[in-house]
Structure 1
Amino acid sequence: MTAPNNAGGVQHRGLITISIMLGTIMQVLDTTIANVALPNMTGDLGASQDTINWVLTSYIVAAAIMTPVTGWLSDRFGRRELFLTSIVGFTVASMACGLSWSLESMVGFRVLQGLFGAAIVPLSQTFLLDINPPERHGSAMAMWGAGIMVGPIIGPTLGGWLTEAFNWRWVFFINLPVGILAFLGSAIYLPRAAKRLRGFDFFGFAMLSLGVGALQLMLDRGAEVDWFSAAEIWIELGLSITGFWIFAIHLLTGRDTFIDPAIFKDRNFVTGLIFIFVVGIILLASLALLPPMLSRLFNHSTILTGLVMAPRGVGTMISMILVGRLVRLVDARLLVVTGLALTAWSLHDMTTFSPQMDDHLIILSGVIQGLGLGLVFVPLSTVAFATLDPRFRTDAASLFSLVRNIGSSIGISIVTVLLTQNIQVNHEELSAAINPFNPTLQTLSPAAASGDITALARVDQLVNAQAMMISYINDFKLMMIVTLSAIPLALFLRKPKLAPAAAGAPAAAHME
C-alpha cells in the first residue's frame, strides 16, 4: 500500500495534525496519569496494595501485545477506519474505567483500553509521514515527538491534580472531550487510503504475543514477587524467551509472515530501533526515579513534584521546536550525538544530588535532559524512516513504538531493582560506622553515642536518607553510562538528503 499524497491530505494538513495528535496525547497520557491515583482506587475497588497494580499491568500488557499487529489491521480494514475505531474504543473504555465498581471490572476495562489504544501512536506517526513531503518530515516528527515525550512527563502531575481536586475517576473521564474532538477531526479530514489484503500469520502473531506479553508481565510483576525468588518470574522468562526464539526462526524461514523480514534490511531503521530502545530506557526510567525521590527525600507534595519536573517538559518542547527546523540544515547524526551528549551531561549533574540541596539543580538538570532527549528523538524518528519503503511504514511505526515501550519497561525494572538493593547495601555499610566508639559520632551526637533511643532514631533517619541518595546517584550514573555507550551507534546511520524533484513529482529521499 503506497503512502497517500492526495490534495485533500495536503490541504487539511494542519487540522489532520491537530486531530491525530489529540488522540496520541490522550493515549500516551494514560501510560502514567493513573499511577498517582492508585492509592485512592484501592479502597473504592476493594483491592489490596498488592493487587491494585494490576490496573497498570493489564493496560501495559494488552497494549504491548496488540501493537505489532497494527500494520496488518490497517492494511486489512484501512488506516483511517482503524484509527477512528481505536479512538472510539479507547474513549469508551476510558469512561468504563471511570465507572468501575470492582478491581475485576477495572482490570477488564483497562485491558480493552490497552487493546484499542495500541494502534493510535504508530498510526499517528504513519499519518504524519504520509501527509508531509520528505522535506517536512523533520517538522512533522517534532510535533509527534513532543506529544510522545511530554505526555508521560505531565501525566503524573495532571493525574495528581485531578485526583485531589475531584476524585480518581476523573483521571479517566478527562479522555471523553479529548476523544470526541480527536474523532470528529479525524473523521472529517483524514484521507482514505487503499486497502491491501494479505493473509494473517496467526502462528507468528501468537509467538510474538507470547514473547512480548510474558516479558512485560515479568518486568511489571518482578518487584512485587521479589524477582527470581518466585517461580512466576521464571515461568514468564521461559515463555518470553521461547516466544521470541520461535518467532525469530519463523520470521527467517516462514512465508507470508505478518511482519515482512525485508523491513530489517534497512540499516537506518534497525539502528533507529536500537536508539529508540535506549531513549525509552532513559526517558521513563528517570521519570520513574524522580517523583519518589522528591517525595521521600525532599518531602514534596504531588503538585510540587509536578512543578519541579515541569521545566523538563519545557526543555523538551523548546528542543522539539528548534530541531524541527535544524533537521533540514544540520546533519541528523550530529543532532543525535549532541542530544545524547546533553543527556549524559544532565545525568552527570544528577550524580551530584544531595538531600541538603534545593530544587535549583533538579530543575536545571531536567531542562538540559529535556533538550537532549528532544535533539535525539526528532532526528532519530526522521532518519529511521527516511530510507524505508513507504509500504512498510505502518509495520515499522508499530515496531518503533513497541521497542520504545519495551525499553521503557526494562529501564524502569532495572533502576527500581538496583535502587532497592543498593539502599539495603548502603544502609548496612553506613550503619557499620555508627557505634559508641566512633569519635565523630561522640562529637556530633553524644546522646546517640551513649545509646539514647531518640537520638539513635534521628541518626538512623539520616543514614536512611544518605543510603537512599547514594542509591539514586548510582542509578543516574548507570543511565549516564548507557547514554554514552549509545553515541557510537550514530556512525551506523546514513545521512538522508533530498534529490531534486522532477517536475510535478514530490521530492524523493536518497542516501549518501
Structure 2
Amino acid sequence: MSPESPSGSATVPLNRPMITISIMLATLIQTLDSTIANVALPHMQGSLSASQDEITWVLTSYIVAAAIATPLTGWLSDRLSVKRLLALSIAGFTVASALCGLSETLPQIVGSRLLQGIFGASLVPLSQSILLDINPREKQGQAMAVWGMGVMVGPVLGPTLGGWLTDSYNWRWVFFINVPIGAFALFGVLTFLPARPTRHDAKFDLFGFATLSLAIGALQAMLDRGEQLDWFGSHEIVIEALAAAISFAFFLAHTATAGKTSFFRYELLKDRNFATGIFFIFVIGAVMYATRALLPPMLQNLMNYPVATTGLVTAPSGAGTMVAMLLAGRLLKRLDARLILLAGFLISAFALWQMMHYTIVLAESDIVWPGVVQGFGLGLVFVPLSTLTFSTLTPALRADGTATYSLMRNIGSSIGISIVQTLMTRGTQIAHADLAANVNPFNPAMQPMLANGSHYDIAVLNQSITQQASMIAYLNDFKLMFVATLLVIPLVLLIRPARKVDGETLAHAVMD
C-alpha cells in the first residue's frame, strides 16, 4: 500500500507495524496513568505533606481534565491534522509526566496532572481513528484487538506496575516510566505516520464547548467526591449537580438549534450502530472499572491480602482480555460480529455470577479464575463492538466519533464506580444493622457472652459482623452488575452487521 504524500507528488510506504507500535505505546501510557498512581497515593501523601482529602486531587484532576479535553479531539484534528495533534499530545503528556515526578508540593503535582489529562485526552481516540484508517476493512477486527489491549489492559496492569515501582524505587517512578516510552512513541509518530491535510475552515463553537465542558467537569467532580462528602448532604455536591444539569440542558438546546456549526456532530447519532455502540461502551466502562474498583479493597480489607498479592491475583484478568482480543480479531473474519458480542456478554455475566457467590474465605484461585473469565468475556465484547460501532460511520466523522466513544467509556466508568462504592457503603450499614439486631439478651446463643460481660468478646463479635456485612454489600454490587450485563444483551439486535465494501478503500483514508 502506498498512499500519496501530502503534496501528491510522491508516494511513501505505509509502515503499518511501526505506526501501530508507536500509537499503541502512547495509548498504553495514557490508560496506565488512569490507575497506576492509585497505589502510590499514601507515599505521595507523606512526601507532599497532604491530607487524605487533598491527595485525592492527584487522581481527580487527571480524570476531570481528560474528560473536558476529550471532545476537542475532532475539531483539533481538523485544524492541526491528526499527525500534528498526536505528536503534540504525546510530547505534552511526556513532559507533564516528568513534571509530575519532579513535583515537590501538592499544587505542583495537581497542576502537572491537569496537563497530563489535557494532553492525554486525545491519545486514545486518535489511536483508534488512525488504526481504522490505515487498515483495510478485513483487517480492522485485528486492528481493534490491538487497540483494545492497550485500552483495557492498561487500567488492569496499572495498580500492579504502580505497586512494584513504588516498592522497588519510589512513587516518582510511577510518572518517570512514561518518559522513555513517550519519547519512543513520539519518534515513531513523527517518522512513520503520514500527514493529513488540515481543514482551516473548521469553525470552533465556543458556546457548545463551554457548556459541554462545564457539564462534564461538574459531573466528574460530583462523582469523584460524592461518596466522600455524603452526596446530596453536601452543598458542594448539590452545586456541582445543578451546574452539570443546567450546562447540559443549555448544550442540548444549543446543539438542536445551531445546526452544522454546533460543536457536537449530531450526525453521529443518526447512525444506529454508533448510537447503540456508545451505549454499550458506557455499560462496559461501568461494569469493567467498577469490578476493578471493588476487588482490591475487598481483598485487602476483608481478607487481609497484601498489596503485592492483590495485584498478582487481579492482574491475570488482563491476560484473559488479551487472549480474547487476539481470538476475536481472527473470529471476525469467519463469524458474524454480533454473535461474538453476544458470547462475550454471556461469558462476562457468568463471571459476575461466580463473583456473586464469593465468601469471606477465598483461595487465590477463587479470585484468579473468575477474573480471567470476565477478562476473556470483555475482550470478546470490546473488539466486535469497536468494529461494529464504526463500520457504518463515514471517515469524515471518525475523529469526532472516536472521541465521543472514549468519552462515553470514561463517563460510564466514573458513574459505575460511584454507584457501586455508594451502594457498598450504605449496604454495609444496612446489613450490619440487620445482623446486629440478633445480638440481644433474648438470643440463646448470646446469653453466655452477655452474662460473662467481656468487652473483648463483644468487640470481636462486632468486627466479625462488620466483615460479614461488608461481604454482603460486595455481593449485592456484583449482583447489580450481573443484572445490568444481562439487561443490555437484547440491544445487540439493534446493531446492523458490517457492510461489505472494498477492503482497499479505507487503507487510503489516512490521506482523506
Using the size of structure 2 for normalisation, the TM-score is: 0.95
Whole-Å separation in 1 of the counterparts to 2:166 and 2:398? 39
1:153–1:287 Cα contact (<8 Å) kept = yes
Whole-Å separation in 2 of the counterparts to 1:128 and 1:507? 10
Q: CA deviation at 1:448?
A: 5.7
Select the residue among 394, 399, 403 that pairs with 1:394. Answer: 399
Deviation string for 1:411-444 (max 9, x for gaps)?
00000000000111111111111234323345xx
Give the aligned residue type for 1:476.
F
Residue 300 of structure 1 is matched in structure 2 by 305
Give the aligned residue type for 1:67.
T
Range with bigger deviation, 249-258 or 47-56? 249-258
Residue 212 of structure 2 is matched in structure 1 by 208
1:66–1:115 Cα contact (<8 Å) kept = yes
1:64–1:213 Cα contact (<8 Å) kept = yes
Residue 91 of structure 1 is matched in structure 2 by 94
2:36–2:159 Cα contact (<8 Å) kept = yes
Whole-Å separation in 2 of the counterparts to 1:357 and 1:67? 40
Whole-Å separation in 1 of the counterparts to 2:148 and 2:166? 27
Residue 361 of structure 1 is matched in structure 2 by 366
Alignment partner of 1:469 is 2:471 = yes
Deviation string for 1:10-30 (max 9, x for gaps)?
631011100100000000000
Residue 255 of structure 2 is matched in structure 1 by 251
Select the residue among 29, 32, 38 that pairs with 1:29. Answer: 32
Equivalence map 1:99-498=2 (5 Å):
99-197=102-200, 198-255=202-259, 256-441=261-446, 446-447=448-449, 450-498=452-500
Give the aligned residue type for 2:412.
G
Give the aligned residue type for 1:142.
A
- Pair 193,349 (structure 1): closer, same or farther in 2 beyond 3 Å: same
1:139–1:325 Cα contact (<8 Å) kept = yes
Cα RMSD, aligned residues only: 1.7
Q: CA deviation at 1:9?
A: 7.6
Q: CA deviation at 1:507?
A: 8.9
Select the residue among 44, 51, 54 that pairs with 2:47. Answer: 44
Whole-Å separation in 2 of the counterparts to 1:9 and 1:453? 80
1:10–1:132 Cα contact (<8 Å) kept = no
Report the 3-state secondary structure (helix = DSSP H, G, I; strand = E; otherwise coil) of the residue aligned with 1:433: coil
Q: CA deviation at 1:399?
A: 0.3
Deviation string for 1:281-319 (max 9, x for gaps)?
011000000000010111111110011012111110110
Deviation string for 1:175-208 (max 9, x for gaps)?
1111111111111101111111211000100011
2:317–2:372 Cα contact (<8 Å) kept = yes
Whole-Å separation in 2 of the counterparts to 1:205 and 1:20? 27
- Pair 87,448 (structure 1): closer, same or farther in 2 beyond 3 Å: farther
Range with bigger deviation, 157-166 or 451-460? 451-460
- Pair 350,264 (structure 1): closer, same or farther in 2 beyond 3 Å: same
Deviation string for 1:386-431 (max 9, x for gaps)?
0001010000000000000000000000000000001111111111
Give the aligned residue type for 1:143.
V
- Pair 360,184 (structure 1): closer, same or farther in 2 beyond 3 Å: same
Select the residue among 12, 15, 19 that pairs with 1:12. Answer: 15
Q: CA deviation at 1:225?
A: 1.1
Q: CA deviation at 1:462?
A: 1.2
Whole-Å separation in 2 of the counterparts to 1:150 and 1:506? 27
Deviation string for 1:32-55 (max 9, x for gaps)?
000111111112112101111111
Report the 3-state secondary structure (helix = DSSP H, G, I; strand = E; otherwise coil) of the residue aligned with 2:360: coil
Aligned residue pairs, count: 501
- Pair 506,225 (structure 1): closer, same or farther in 2 beyond 3 Å: closer
Report the 3-state secondary structure (helix = DSSP H, G, I; strand = E; otherwise coil) of the residue aligned with 2:349: helix
1:437–1:449 Cα contact (<8 Å) kept = no
Range with bigger deviation, 166-175 or 358-367? 358-367
- Pair 9,330 (structure 1): closer, same or farther in 2 beyond 3 Å: farther
Range with bigger deviation, 433-442 or 312-321? 433-442
Alignment partner of 1:61 is 2:64 = yes
Whole-Å separation in 2 of the counterparts to 1:81 and 1:506? 21
Q: CA deviation at 1:260?
A: 2.0
Gaps of 5+ in 2: 6-10
Report the 3-state secondary structure (helix = DSSP H, G, I; strand = E; otherwise coil) of the residue aligned with 1:328: coil
